[in-house]
């Protein structure tokens, strides 16, 4: 079957070139097992648009072969001697990611930002989820437009709420408008949010990344020296599978992972006190042990989290003495200690 795979790959053109991916020399090891084909891509460039095109064209070609059930791409990015630049006046950049949507990553981002701010740190929050910007609603800045910096018309002023400086595409487009952009535009917005916003002096800039390992993640890693990645997962295997991919992505980009947070860890009935592990339990901690990275704690399912997010008053503000708010504060303390000891 390997010969048939190579034959099909020889028909796949490398984006922007007249040669096939075989002739360009980007195909590494090819293995097959029970109809699943694994192909190693030896990338010579880390252009996210090229990678995205190959992630579609290669599987589409190989799946034409009889007996192929699925195709996995193992992407090896080129090594760079130069480190990405450190943004001026920002001490730590933390990137929160999940690998998949629906695990509460943005909820974790806003509550970590608030917890760090309560500890006396200067905090910024960058919403890098261009297609689904939820930060404006969660932080209670829905409908508040951004403005240009009167001292420098080339810069954008972040919106300040709860003492946190915030930037989001959601503050720049109509509320219900869909963002229908290709990769290059996404990349440009991320660059602008990093470099053309008047952040001032910050101890922490938390970047709320979209699900997956795509354009926004690559652009962030190329444009700024990320101090640490935070992986958010639920305990269930489906979420943990994608958390593993997010971890692998950070490792390949040489971004240290400061920890894993298990969100929706359990539910305690407010009436009878019975505890239910709705999405299983302990998967996040087991993943942290397996990868030898810090476990930042468990965040239970609590109606106050949902209410706070919907009303623009995160639980760390609306119910600071609650179990969940204290869990976010403990996670923030663990992050601080990890960074201090790095």
List the domains of the chain with CATH numbers.
1-79 (3.30.300.130), 88-339 (3.40.50.300)
Q: Do 166 and 205 form a contact (C-beta atoms < 8 A)?
A: no
Residue 333: its pLDDT value, please?
A: 97
Q: What is the pLDDT of residues 101-126, one digit of tens each?
A: 889 999 999 999 999 999 999 999 99
Q: Please, which pLDDT band fits residue 175 given cuts at 50, 70 and 90?
A: confident
pLDDT band at 139, cuts 50/70/90?
very high
pTM for this entry: 0.76
- Annotated binding-site members for ATP: 99-106
Beta strands (DSSP E) in the chain are 27-33, 36-42, 70-76, 90-97, 123-127, 147-149, 152-157, 159-161, 164-168, 202-208, 228-233, 257-268, 275-276, 295-301
Could you give the CA distance from residue 306 to residue 303 in angstroms, rounded to a whole number?
5
Strands 36-42 and 70-76: parallel
Residue 272 has pLDDT above 70, yes or no: yes
Could you tell me whether strands 164-168 and 123-127 are parallel, antiparallel, or unpaired per DSSP bridges?
Answer: parallel
Whether pLDDT at 214 is above 80: no
- What is the DSSP pairing of strand 27-33 with strand 36-42? antiparallel
**Cβ atoms of 296 and 261 closer than 8 Å:** yes
The reported pLDDT for the residue numbered 81 is 55
**Percent of the chain whose pLDDT exceeds 70:** 97
Sequence-separated (6 or more) residues with CB below 8 Å from residue 136: 127, 142, 143, 144, 166, 168, 170, 171
Mean pLDDT score, 146-156: 92
Return binding residues. 99-106
| pLDDT of 52 above 80 | yes
């Amino acid at each position: 079957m390997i010969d048939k795979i190579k034959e099909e790959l020889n028909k796949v053109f490398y984006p922007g070139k007249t040669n096939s991916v075989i002739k360009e020399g980007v195909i590494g090891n090819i293995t097959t097992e029970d109809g699943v084909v694994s192909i190693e891509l030896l990338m010579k460039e880390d252009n996210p648009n090229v990678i995205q095109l190959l992630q579609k064209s290669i599987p589409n070609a190989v799946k034409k072969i009889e007996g192929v059930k699925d195709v996995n791409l193992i992407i090896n990015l080129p090594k760079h001697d130069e480190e990405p630049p450190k943004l001026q006046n920002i001490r730590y950049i933390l990137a929160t990611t999940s690998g998949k949507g629906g695990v509460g990553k943005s909820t974790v981002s806003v509550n970590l930002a608030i917890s760090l701010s309560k500890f006396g740190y200067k905090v910024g929050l960058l919403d890098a989820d261009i297609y689904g910007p939820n930060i404006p609603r969660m932080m209670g800045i829905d409908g508040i437009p951004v403005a240009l910096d009167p001292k420098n018309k080339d810069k954008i002023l972040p919106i300040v709420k709860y003492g946190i400086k915030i930037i989001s595409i959601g503050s720049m487009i109509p509320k219900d408008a869909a963002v229908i952009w290709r990769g290059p535009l996404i990349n440009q917005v991320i660059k602008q949010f990093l470099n053309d916003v008047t952040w001032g002096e910050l101890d922490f800039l938390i970047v709320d990344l979209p699900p997956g390992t795509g354009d926004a993640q690559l652009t962030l890693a190329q444009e700024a020296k990320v101090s640490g990645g935070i992986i958010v997962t639920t305990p269930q295997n489906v979420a943990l599978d994608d958390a593993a991919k997010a971890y692998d992505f950070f490792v390949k980009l040489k971004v240290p992972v400061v920890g894993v947070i298990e969100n929706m860890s359990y539910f305690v009935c407010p009436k009878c006190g019975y505890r239910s592990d709705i999405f299983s339990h302990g998967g996040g901690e087991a993943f942290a042990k397996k990868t030898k990275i810090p476990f930042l704690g468990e965040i239970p399912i609590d109606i106050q989290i949902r209410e706070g997010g919907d009303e623009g008053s995160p639980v760390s503000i609306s119910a600071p003495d609650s179990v969940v708010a204290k869990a976010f504060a403990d996670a923030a303390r663990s992050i601080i200690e990890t960074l201090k000891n790095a």
